[in-house]
């Protein structure tokens, strides 16, 4: 099986030992505490689940800047985005060497993790601008990732963490949320060697379905892990339960048996385009995937990134050998009227524009909202029904 990033074995930061877990929960109640930003809480969940291996906790300013500017920490560890615990107010933890981190996304703000405080550093406006520009390729506050990143505060609390729960992800998505440890174990149970990961924050239409099937066939892979983001999205994105239902219906009806795992992970979307694509590759390697599908405008938003910037970054900025996972580069996909199936447009050089059925996501959302079923060339009818019911519920 493919090795995790940066170590021979996966080192999740969740405390699985029951006695130790109980003792830490008791200790946490007597510690100074802060309520995390949603992004910092998501970082803790990802570290707890083993996805951000081999990190042992939140980065300090130097490591965060190195990650943003050079895609590596001061020790030389390849990591494409800073993993930070930023906060506005440090009064409650001033002078503390060990603190409790509370969950902003669960009622009552229960303890999510305990952190050993290595340093509390104030990030300058110039450093924030540098990191923002490098991570997102823009400092435009209209970009949802830029806005979220810059709203967390300027104090960076660095140090190792011990994670004590997985926030709302385990309770709200018991059938879907999986740690990197659990996915690795399930891949081994399946006996899969070559494994394709598919990232999604949206429901899967015909093009996505066929893309997974193309990758399975072209790579001669054993299976595909459909790995959906379960954390915070931007306004207008479809909620995770609706996506989950639609994807499960598609896999049940249209994929061969025992070729698909449907799972999810707890993270807030960055919308960082190319940089987020590299992060996606890193944590898919940690969960045991050998290949990641990277398509058009992967992890992008608006017009901030070129259509295939998320592919070229692997050739231009990721050093040779930094990651073991390989990228399956996908082109625009569309339904071919000539061939009566979905194809990658680069594989159909004899086609004209009129030979393809092209529908934008915006157009499809409009149709669903009006109760109009998209053409079967674009969306499976069973999937369209689930989405249509959701959109119409918004109108009522």
For residue 28 the two structure tokens come to 């946490």
Task: Supply the DSSP string of 170-206, one letter for each residue.
Answer: HHH-TTTB--HHHHHHHHHHHT-SSEEEEEESS---H
Determine the Cα–Cα distance for residues 99 and 36; give it in Å rounded to an integer. Answer: 12
* Active-site pick, 154, 201, 296, 365: 201
Range list of H helices, 86-239: 125-136, 144-150, 169-172, 180-190, 206-219
Residue of 245, 241, 207, 248 whose CA lies nearest to 226: 248
CA angle in degrees (0–180, nearest 5) for 360-361-366: 100
Is 201 an annotated catalytic residue? yes
Determine the Cα–Cα distance for residues 119 and 63; give it in Å rounded to an integer. Answer: 12
* Active-site pick, 11, 154, 202, 296: 202
For residue 117 the two structure tokens come to 């405080």
Determine the Cα–Cα distance for residues 363 and 361; give it in Å rounded to an integer. Answer: 5
272-281: b (≥16 Cβ within 10 Å) or e: bbbbbbbbbb
For residue 94 the two structure tokens come to 């001033």
Give the distance from CA 385 to its chain's centroid.
Answer: 26
Residues 64, 149 contacting (CB under 8 angstroms): no
Is 286 an annotated catalytic residue? no
Range list of H helices, the chain: 18-28, 38-48, 61-70, 125-136, 144-150, 169-172, 180-190, 206-219, 240-254, 274-286, 309-316, 361-369, 381-395
For residue 367 the two structure tokens come to 């149709």
Determine the Cα–Cα distance for residues 85 and 156; give it in Å rounded to an integer. Answer: 6
Residues 359, 375 contacting (CB under 8 angstroms): yes
For residue 51 the two structure tokens come to 């996805």
For residue 284 the two structure tokens come to 């898919």
Which residues are part of the catalytic machinery? 201-202
């Amino acid at each position: 099986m493919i090795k995790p990033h940066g170590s021979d074995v996966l080192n999740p930061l969740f405390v699985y030992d029951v006695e130790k877990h109980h003792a830490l929960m008791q200790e946490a109640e007597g510690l100074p505490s802060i309520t995390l930003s949603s992004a910092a809480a998501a970082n803790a969940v990802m570290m707890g689940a083993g996805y951000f291996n081999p990190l042992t906790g939140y980065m300090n300013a130097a490591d965060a800047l190195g990650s943003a500017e050079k895609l590596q920490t001061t020790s030389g560890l390849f990591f494409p985005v800073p993993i930070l615990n930023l906060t506005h107010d440090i009064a409650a933890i001033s002078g503390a060497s060990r603190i409790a981190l509370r969950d902003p996304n669960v009622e009552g703000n229960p303890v999510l993790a305990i952190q050993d405080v290595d340093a509390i550093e104030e990030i300058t406006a110039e450093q924030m601008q540098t990191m923002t520009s490098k991570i997102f390729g823009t400092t435009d506050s209209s970009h949802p990732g830029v806005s979220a990143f810059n709203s967390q505060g300027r104090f960076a609390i660095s140090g190792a963490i011990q994670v004590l729960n997985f926030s709302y992800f385990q309770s709200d998505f018991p059938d879907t949320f999986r740690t990197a440890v659990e996915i690795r174990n399930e891949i081994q149970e399946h006996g899969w060697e070559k494994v394709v990961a598919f990232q999604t924050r949206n429901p899967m239409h015909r093009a996505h379905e066929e893309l997974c099937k193309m990758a399975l066939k072209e790579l001669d892979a054993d299976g595909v892990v459909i790995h959906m983001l379960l954390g915070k999205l931007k306004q207008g994105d479809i909620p995770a339960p609706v996506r989950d239902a639609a994807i499960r219906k598609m896999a049940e009806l249209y994929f061969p048996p025992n070729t698909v795992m449907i799972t999810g992970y707890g993270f807030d979307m960055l919308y960082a385009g190319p940089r987020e694509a590299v992060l996606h590759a890193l944590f898919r390697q940690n969960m045991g995937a050998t290949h990641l599908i990277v398509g058009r405008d992967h992890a992008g938003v608006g017009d901030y990134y070129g259509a295939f910037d998320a592919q070229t970054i692997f050739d231009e900025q990721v050093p040779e050998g930094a990651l073991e996972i390989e990228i399956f580069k996908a082109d625009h996909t569309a339904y071919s009227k000539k061939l009566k199936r979905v194809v990658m447009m680069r594989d159909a050089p004899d086609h004209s524009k009129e030979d393809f059925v092209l529908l934008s996501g915006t157009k499809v959302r409009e149709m669903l909202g009006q109760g109009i079923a998209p053409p079967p060339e674009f969306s499976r009818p069973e999937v369209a029904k689930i989405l249509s019911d959701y959109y119409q519920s918004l109108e009522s």
